[in-house]
Amino acid sequence: MAVMTRQPADWTDRAPLKIRAVREICATPQDVWDVLCDHERWPEWFSALDKAETTGGTGLGSTRTVWVAKKPIHEEFIVWDEPRSWGFSVVEAEGPLGLVTETLNERVNIQVLSDDRVRVTYLMALQPKPRTGLLFRVLKRQLTKTLRQSLAGLERRVEAQRA
């Protein structure tokens, strides 16, 4: 398992490679937050994940493990501002992610647009390992598509939970 370089939350905005998706959802910030914090159900709406589980409480400093292509990825939460902003840094990764990525932070911001409408922004911030930058430039389009599809899945999950 590859140990990743941890970066603080503010690094996310200045990372050398950023991938972003945005979606407006008819929901309250708390509705979206509740789905984000239901880690075990992430694979229902975030198709890249095989499995997800909480491994260390909730809140800032808590941890979870997700599996992508059956390979574990350990994450530590570095942003926890309920119900507005939520983010983590990958601390260890098995499989391709650990081979090509030095650092990976992800953050979700929930912006209130009206009483029942929010804008959800998902930001993936990466530092590729040396000699892998071209690979990520090629993958950026696919990763953006995956994030957009995941936000559509988040919207469906929020709607189902509200029903």
Number of neighbours of residue 15 by Cβ within 10 angstroms: 17
- Count of domains in the chain? 1
Q: How far apart are CA 123 and CA 74, in angstroms?
A: 18
pLDDT for 102 beyond 80 = yes
Q: Is 153 left (phi over 0), alpha (psi -120 to 50) or beta?
A: alpha
- The enclosing domain of 75 has a CATH number of 3.30.530.20
Domain span at residue 19 reads 2-162
Which has the higher per-residue pLDDT, 137 or 143?
A: 143
Backbone angles phi, psi at 16, to 5 degrees: -70, -25
Q: How far apart are CA 14 and CA 21, in angstroms?
A: 17
- The per-residue pLDDT for 133 is 74
- Structure confidence by residue, pLDDT tens digits, 110-139: 999 999 999 999 999 999 999 887 888 888
pLDDT, average across residues 68-81? 97
pLDDT, average across residues 84-112? 96
| Cα 117 to the center of its chain, rounded Å | 21
- Structure confidence by residue, pLDDT tens digits, 1-33: 899 999 999 999 999 999 999 999 999 999 999
pTM: 0.94
- The per-residue pLDDT for 131 is 87
Number of neighbours of residue 150 by Cβ within 10 angstroms: 19
pLDDT for 46 beyond 80 = yes
- The per-residue pLDDT for 84 is 98
